[in-house]
Copies of this chain bind each other. A is one copy, B any other.
Amino acid sequence: MNRQESIKQMTGAIKADSFRMAALPLAQRNEALLNIARKLRCQSDIIFKANAEDIERAESEHQPGPLLKRLRFDSSKLEECLAGIESLIQLPDPLFKTLLKRELDKDLVLHKITCPIGVIGIIFESRPDALVQIATLCLKSGNCAILKGGSEAFKTNRTLYNVIYTACKEAGIPEGFLTLVENRADIDSLLKCGEDIDLLIPRGSNAFVRYIMDNTKIPVMGHADGICHIYVDEHFDLDKALPVIIDSKTQYVAVCNAVETLLVHERAAEKLIPPLLSKLKEKGVTVKGSPDIQHLAPCESAADEDWETEYLDLVLSVKTVQNIDEAVSHINRFGSHHTDCIITEDPAAAEKFMLIVDSAGVYLNCSTRFADGYRYGFGAEVGVSTGKLHARGPVGLEGLVTYKYRLYGKSHVVGDYASGAKQFHFKDL
């Protein structure tokens, strides 16, 4: 059997188990979550040891500082994971929720009830705590998860996986619930398993996410670029604008919700640009401005490609616009439909911006960095979606379920309604 066949066989078996996952009662899923927390605590020494080995290897390979930081899984990361599991246990069941209950006719009742999506493939970056978060979110929502982690965290991921897998098996969860794929080459095989995998959630570099999107027929949830904008309107408060722009750009640069382009109303530029550019300079930010911006304060010159570049760095492109319409057109054209903000004291302008900007997040007078499941109070998230179907923005438990229509009858046939012998009466219960 070649590699593709063996991966196909594996996903087929996982799919079969996914139907059993869909029937697990909440108590059993929560019991498994408790057992995971218990075992993670008991076996923390083994986990930290595996992580130390991953870090040692990464250091010897001279990996960059931010990667090393994200790779670390220490006792404070463990406590965060345990707190996350604890709050996940407290959350209400996302499954078996009745979204609609309608009597179509006497003794013919339609129920719309939430159920798991099925089998979800998640490809994630170097943070090993993501493995714990994703696995537990999938467990709570009754989904099977196929995980492919970053190779830097190889040993930590394998150790965490073993602990979680064993904890779930003890709690009677079907074995197909959690699978760890360690070979990067297997990703291409997974992309071809559309019959068995219901959803892919890739988290990583733009190029990687785009590769996944371009090479599979499986629905993909996530985002490639995060080109977020701030637009400063004609009527704005400088004291509000400065901290929001500074925070959006500098609070953490290597993330999808950092601002990349600032648009300024031409009648706001003179007041905003000189103090802003001076503050940005203090923070080490390189500004790339359109000619009129350069006229107001010293900065580099922006090229056409700057408007479609996600810097993920201390760089900000800045240009003036004639009015809010030009700003919105620019954002809808060059943005990535992730998160965009207007800074204004004019409620009508704010309302217009929020209606017309075609993004998952539209903000008034606050930092784009708030676009995050934790900050929205969703608990954990599996990722941020810039697609418009199913789930949009930060995706938590709710984005991991779908629904079924159940129809309960007593020998009802359509012929009776087609002939007029019976009529529907549609009564919501």
Q: Is the CB of A404 within 8 A of B23?
A: no
Cβ-defined partner of A406 (8 Å) among B363, B394, B426: B363
Tell me the bound Cα distance from A102 to B378 in angstroms. Answer: 11
Q: Is the CB of A362 within 8 A of B404?
A: yes
Chain B residues with Cβ under 8 A from A393's Cβ? 404-405
Q: Is the CB of B110 within 8 A of A410?
A: no
Q: A363-B407, A402-B392, A413-B367 are in contact. Are A19 and B356 (CB under 8 A)?
A: yes
Copy total for this chain: 2
Q: Is the CB of B414 within 8 A of A219?
A: no
A418 within 8 A of B: yes
Q: A356-B22, A411-B239 are in contact. Are A402 and B389 (CB under 8 A)?
A: yes
Q: Is the CB of B219 within 8 A of A366?
A: no
Chain B residues with Cβ under 8 A from A221's Cβ? 389
Chain B residues with Cβ under 8 A from A328's Cβ? 19
A377 within 8 A of B: yes
Q: Is the CB of A247 within 8 A of B367?
A: no
Contact string, A375-398, partner B, CB cutoff 8 A, digits 1/0? 111000000000111101110000
Cβ-defined partner of A413 (8 Å) among B199, B251, B426: B251
Contact string, A261-284, partner B, CB cutoff 8 A, digits 1/0? 000000000000000000000000
- Least distance between A232 CB and chain B CB atoms (Å): 13
- Least distance between A327 CB and chain B CB atoms (Å): 12
A217 within 8 A of B: yes
A415 within 8 A of B: yes
Closest B residue to A240 by CB, please name it.
Answer: B411
Closest B residue to A407 by CB, please name it.
Answer: B363
- Least distance between A365 CB and chain B CB atoms (Å): 5
- Least distance between A196 CB and chain B CB atoms (Å): 11
- Least distance between A324 CB and chain B CB atoms (Å): 12
Q: Is the CB of B365 within 8 A of A408?
A: yes
Interface residues of A in 94-132 (CB under 8 A from B): 102, 104, 108, 110, 115, 117-118
Q: Is the CB of B354 within 8 A of A404?
A: yes
Tell me the bound Cα distance from A48 to B101 in angstroms. Answer: 40
Q: A198-B388, A363-B406, A376-B104 are in contact. Are A412 and B356 (CB under 8 A)?
A: no
Nearest 10 Cβ contacts at the A-B interface: A366-B409, A247-B413, A369-B414, A240-B411, A377-B426, A389-B390, A366-B412, A23-B355, A390-B390, A388-B402
Question: Residues of A at under 8 Å CB distance from B?
Answer: 15-16, 18-20, 22-23, 102, 104, 108, 110, 115, 117-118, 198-199, 213-214, 217, 219, 221, 237, 239-241, 243-244, 246-248, 251-252, 328-329, 332, 350, 352, 354-356, 358-367, 369-371, 375-377, 387-390, 392-394, 402-415, 417-418, 424, 426
A251-B414, A364-B408 known, 9 other contacts, Cβ within 8 Å: A19-B358, A110-B376, A110-B377, A219-B389, A365-B412, A366-B410, A377-B426, A392-B404, A394-B405
- Please, could you name 9 A-B residue pairs with CB atoms under 8 Å apart, sorted by A? A104-B376, A244-B409, A354-B406, A366-B407, A366-B408, A366-B410, A367-B409, A389-B389, A389-B402
